[in-house]
Amino acid sequence: MYHAAMGVDVNGVLARILQEATANLGSIHGIEHWARVERNGLWLARRTGADGRLITLFALFHDAMRENDAHDPDHGPRAAELAARVGHEALGISVEDLDVLYRACWGHTRELHSEDPTIATCWDADRLDLPRAGITPKPRFFSTPLGRELARFGDLSPLESLALRSLVPPV
C-alpha cells in the first residue's frame, strides 16, 4: 500500500523491515500492535501537529527488533539502527526526518518525555496501546496534554468514541 498523501510506500518499507525483523509478528508487540500505534498516532497527530509520515514509519519500526515480549530494553535502539540502515531515501524522507525517526525509535524504550511534537506523539501512540498487555496507561508517562487526558480514560480502544470526540474539537 502506498500512502500517497504521505509519500510513504508502506508495503515497500514493511518488506524491507521484515527482512531483518526479530519480533514475533503475531505477538502482543507484532503487526496488529503496529497498526494500532499508527491509528493512535495519526489520530493524535491531527491535534498535535506531528508529522504523519514519521508516525507511520515509527509504527512500523519501533517494535520490529524485539527479541521477546518481556523485558527487552534494547529493542528501541535496535529499531533505530534498522531505520538508519534502511536509510532516508528508501523511506522517502529527508536526512533530518530520519534523525527524528531514529530518536523516536531509540527513545521509546529509554526516555519518558519529549518536547518534539512528532516524537511525543509517537511515544504517546505506543503507550495508548498498553491495555493490550493488561497495563493501565498512567498519564504521567505521556508527553502530550491530549495523551495524558486520554490515559485518564483507562480503556483506549475506541479512539473514535463519542466521549473522546467531545474531548477535542474536530480539525
pLDDT at 154: 60
pLDDT at 34: 95
Check pLDDT > 70 for residue 106. yes
pLDDT digits (tens, 9 = 90+) for 36-91: 999 999 999 999 999 999 999 999 999 999 999 889 999 999 999 999 999 999 99
pLDDT digits (tens, 9 = 90+) for 38-47: 999 999 999 9
Contacts of 88 (CB under 8 A, 6+ apart): 94, 95, 97, 98
Handedness of CA 23, 21, 87, 40 (dihedral sign): negative
Check pLDDT > 90 for residue 25. no
The number of distinct structural domains making up the chain is 1
Tell me the C-alpha to C-alpha distance, in Å, between residue 47 and each of 1, 115, 148, 169: 25, 15, 13, 9
- Rounded Cα distance between 48 and 145, Å, is 9
Look up the CATH number of the domain holding residue 91: 1.10.3210.10
pLDDT at 1: 44
Residue ranges making up the domain that contains 54: 2-167
Count how many residues are written for the chain: 171
